[in-house]
Amino acid sequence: MAIVVAMVADRMTTDEVLADLPDLEAEDIAESEGLGHEHDQNETRTEHDDC
């Protein structure tokens, strides 16, 4: 799943990710986009918590 999150973070489209990883489905990518967003929010909180 981390690979998909990284691909999405690199602004690859769903179609591009599916072309590279044909075993996945569009729903898998949508789920990883949500995980990437949660990760970004957690990093932002961590950066501000250190102040």
Domain map of the chain by residue range?
Answer: 2-49
Residues 6+ apart with CB under 8 A from 21: 3, 4, 7
CA 7/CA 10 separation, integer angstroms: 5
Helix (H) or strand (E) holding 2: helix 2-9
Q: How much is the pLDDT for 1? A: 78
CB-based contact 33:8 (threshold 8 Å): yes
Q: How much is the pLDDT for 25? A: 94
pTM: 0.62
CA 18/CA 43 separation, integer angstroms: 27
pLDDT in tens, 1-51: 789 889 988 999 999 999 999 999 999 888 887 765 554 555 545 555 555
The length of the chain is 51
